[in-house]
């Protein structure tokens, strides 16, 4: 099939065009035949007059059908383009939703990991409060921890030897016979501290109770450090 050249265009004739040209040819032949009438015919004048009208109507009909056909083709092309655009939009939306879901999952996992690491770090850095036994050994160990925090010198052995000499390890011990007792300020507790000394050397954070074993030890050790350098240097009544 050869191509038909039209000034400014080069394209293959569509079926609609071919139909239009065929219709024009048929109509033209019919119109031409109608105009050729033998001389002297009674219908000659009528036929010659009607031919141009028939030709015009036929052409208009073919043009109308051609326009309708072209419009139908244009509509189909437009509809196809809309469907294709809708499919692409749906695919793009699905891809975006998938990407968003993947990002949300990744963010959630990253946050969970960060929270776990922060919790683990906090757990490692948390200073656990030690639990001391409620006996002489526990009281001395707790007192040493407080003394260390307040930079009060002293050792386990230094505290222990003085406690055993002063009260035999009895936190409720009291001296009711010496000069302090006669003056109304008897020595009390594990390290036999009189009240004025206890109040003067009391360490903040411990109970304000002269009989409290830890408060008594720490106050006495604080007094001994101030007067003798350390409770370890005390080997007799002080």
State how far the alpha carbon of 238 is from the alpha carbons of 9, 90, 173, 186, 187, in Å: 125, 93, 16, 14, 11
pLDDT of residue 1: 47
State how far the alpha carbon of 14 is from the alpha carbons of 4, 57, 63, 131, in Å: 11, 23, 15, 99
pTM: 0.50
From the DSSP assignment, how many helices (H) and strands (E) are in the chain? 7, 2
- 89-112: burial string, b at 16+ Cβ within 10 Å, e else: eeeeeeeeeeeeeeeeeeeeeeee
Consecutive 10-residue averages of pLDDT for the chain (238 residues):
43 50 50 46 47 70 79 84 88 91 92 89 74 96 97 97 96 95 96 97 96 98 97 91
What are the structure tokens assigned to 71, written together? Answer: 């419009």
pLDDT of residue 198: 97
- Long-range contact pairs involving 130-138 (C-beta distance under 8 Å, separation at least 24): 136/160, 136/163, 136/169, 136/190, 136/213
pLDDT of residue 80: 84
Q: What angle do CA 99, 105, 107 make, to 5 degrees?
A: 100
Give the sign of the dihedral formed by CA 86, CA 92, CA 97, CA 98: positive
- 43-79: burial string, b at 16+ Cβ within 10 Å, e else: eeeeeeeebeeebeebbeebeeebeebeeeeeeeeee
In eight-state DSSP terms, residue 190 is T
Are 232 and 162 in contact by the 8 Å Cβ rule? The answer is: no
- Classify 5 as helix, strand or coil: strand
Q: How far apart are CA 43 and CA 125, in angstroms?
A: 121
pLDDT of residue 74: 85
pLDDT of residue 128: 74
pLDDT of residue 194: 97
pLDDT of residue 69: 83
């Amino acid at each position: 099939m050869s191509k038909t050249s039209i000034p400014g265009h080069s394209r293959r004739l569509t079926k609609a065009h071919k139909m239009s040209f065929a219709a024009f040819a048929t109509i033209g032949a019919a119109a031409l035949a109608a105009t050729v009438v033998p001389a002297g015919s009674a219908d000659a004048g009528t036929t010659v007059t009607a031919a141009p009208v028939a030709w015009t109507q036929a052409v208009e009909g073919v043009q109308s059908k051609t326009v309708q056909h072209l419009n139908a083709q244009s509509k189909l092309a437009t509809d196809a383009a809309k469907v294709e655009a809708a499919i692409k939009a749906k695919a793009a939306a699905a891809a975006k939703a998938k990407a968003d879901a993947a990002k949300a999952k990744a963010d959630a996992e990253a946050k969970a990991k960060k929270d776990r690491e922060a919790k683990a770090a906090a757990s490692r850095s948390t200073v656990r409060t030690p639990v001391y036994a409620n006996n002489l050994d526990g009281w001395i160990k707790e007192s040493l921890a407080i003394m260390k925090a307040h930079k009060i010198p002293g050792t386990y052995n230094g505290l222990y030897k003085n406690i055993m000499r002063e009260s035999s390890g009895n936190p409720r011990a009291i001296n009711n016979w010496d000069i302090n007792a006669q003056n109304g300020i008897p020595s009390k507790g594990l390290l036999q501290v009189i009240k004025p000394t206890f109040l003067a050397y009391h360490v903040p954070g411990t109970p304000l109770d002269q009989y409290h074993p830890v408060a008594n030890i720490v106050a006495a050790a604080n007094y001994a450090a101030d007067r003798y350098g350390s409770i370890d240097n005390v080997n007799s009544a002080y």
